[in-house]
Amino acid sequence: MTEQLLTVLGTGGTISTRPSAAGAVPRVTADELASSLGVERIRSRDVFTRSSREIGPGEAWILATAIQEEIDSGVTGVIVTHGTDTIEETAYALALLVEARVPVVLTGAMRAPHLPGADGPANLRAAASVAACPEVTRYGPVVVMHDEIHLAALVTKTHGVSVAAFTSPAAGPVGRIVENEPLLLLGPPNRTPLLARRAAPTQRVEVVHVSGGDDGLAVESAAQRCDGVVLAATGAGHVSGAVAAAAGRAVAAGVPVVFTSRCADGLTLADTYGGPGSETDLLRAGVIRSRFLGPAKARLRLLFGLSAGLDPHELFGSAEKGTSK
């Protein structure tokens, strides 16, 4: 039996904050967080220290590289401490980029350590118990918050301040932590497959949030300046006729456009509604359907896929078929 060796990789966020004259800022090191767990065989390092609002694809690539190094060096579980604002995005990026042969667990905090009822210590302890469970490997990178285990592809932050801020609207958590032990309730479902090729992010992809009666100007502007565009469409993948026309022109000019739903449980349709701006209209124009990924995760999929030279239609082909991509 392999002797357990966990690692804590720090990236900043609320879990690592201390008060300052300007408000809470990340200053607690990964070593301090790891030491608080009281685990005998554990190591740590700070990959970077910042608020998660500043963590984008470039930082996700750096973190993915650090995680792969830790796994290749023989650790049996990886814990990533991360700000909650974008933890769901980083988790999905890691699912695309990291060959996770051990549990990879992301966690954070909704309340700063100096506030009453701080949730960081409990979340960190729960994350350590999940990282020590080999069965979790089959789920790919997961997010552990509020004693719940969530898949990277499904988890989303649905509340700005509650300690119970995270849900997986499409299916719920795949497990819970009970008496400091992970209880796996669902699955393992199909995990998000690694991209066929991985490369540092070099492409620019923007999300355009669509409103009723939108005139398409934002789509036109994004298509002129970006390598790809993701539409956060209304309902099950619907936009105004003007937006659909703008998206069609972008596709004709060689800019891939993906449509998603702005709904929290964002499943899109393929063949139900007709007329300008319907899902059938978008598909006829060559706009790519993201079956259930939300806008932020679809952006990461398209961005990293384009950066690696992958075909955008193939990137989302499995999403069309309903698998975990």
User: Does the annotation mark 7 as catalytic?
Assistant: no
* Spatial separation of the C-alpha atoms in residues 244 and 258, rounded to whole Å: 11
Cα-Cα end-to-end distance for the chain? 33
Q: How many CB atoms lie within 10 A of CB 281?
A: 20
Task: Say what angle helices 87-97 and 57-72 make with each other, to 10 degrees.
Answer: 50
Q: Which entry of 14, 17, 192, 268 is annotated as an active-site residue?
A: 14
Question: Helices marked H in the chain — which ranges?
Answer: 30-35, 57-72, 87-97, 120-131, 217-225, 241-252, 279-284, 295-307, 312-315, 317-321
189-212 in b/e form (b: 16+ CB < 10 A) is bebbeebeebbebebebbbbebee
> Residue 266: exposed, middle, or buried by beta-carbon count in 10 A (0-12, 13-18, 19+)?
buried
> Residue 145: exposed, middle, or buried by beta-carbon count in 10 A (0-12, 13-18, 19+)?
buried
Positive or negative CA dihedral for 193, 195, 201, 203? negative
Catalytic residues: 14
